[in-house]
């Protein structure tokens, strides 16, 4: 009987730890990050990539909304959300950080053509192709159905 209790404890404790720590999303760092070259290669077939920077004022004002969406997209049957820190140039080589280099990347299938010129930016991807991009606070919140 004692062996059964020990075995159950060994099974249940790690599960409880995963459940309690996996649900804590309080900052952008707690969310699933991807790198620039991975923007078009995620699963499922339709998802969002939220591009932000730590020193971005607008990113800070909508952070709670983005985190709330991230916590609830599954139960609301909404597309998955990945995040990309535009300021992390060590891992995101090639991403545009110069406002003067604005280019249209809608419908692209080549991640190198995706040059986000503003922060924040929300990119919608379907079947490995950019189908929409939003770079204003109101547009982003409307697309995520946070505001009407």
Residue with tokens 């804590």: 24
Q: What confidence tens digit (pLDDT) does each residue in 39-52 have?
A: 999 988 999 999 99
Q: What confidence tens digit (pLDDT) does each residue in 100-110 have?
A: 555 678 889 89
Which of 23-27, 80-84, 135-139 is predicted with the least confidence, judged by mean pLDDT?
Answer: 23-27
Residues in the chain: 148
What are the two backbone dihedrals, phi and then psi, of residue 92, each rounded to the nearest 5 degrees?
Answer: -120, 50
Report the predicted TM-score, pTM, of the whole model to 2 decimal places. 0.78
| Higher pLDDT among residues 132 and 94, named by residue | 132
Q: In this structure, what token pair is assigned to residue 140? A: 């982003």
């Amino acid at each position: 009987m004692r062996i059964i209790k020990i075995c159950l404890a060994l099974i249940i404790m790690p599960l409880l730890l995963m459940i309690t720590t996996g649900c804590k999303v309080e900052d952008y760092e707690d969310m699933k990050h991807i790198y620039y070259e991975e923007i078009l290669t995620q699963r499922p077939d339709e998802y969002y990539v939220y591009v932000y920077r730590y020193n971005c004022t607008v990113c800070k004002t909508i952070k709670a909304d983005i985190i709330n969406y991230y916590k609830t997209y599954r139960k609301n049957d909404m597309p998955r959300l990945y995040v990309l820190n535009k300021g992390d140039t060590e891992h995101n080589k090639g991403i545009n950080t110069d406002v003067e280099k604005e280019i249209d990347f809608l419908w692209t299938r080549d991640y190198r053509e995706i040059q986000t010129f503003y922060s924040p930016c929300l990119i919608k991807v379907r079947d490995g192709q950019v189908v929409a991009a939003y770079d204003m606070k109101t547009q982003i919140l409307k697309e995520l159905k946070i505001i009407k």
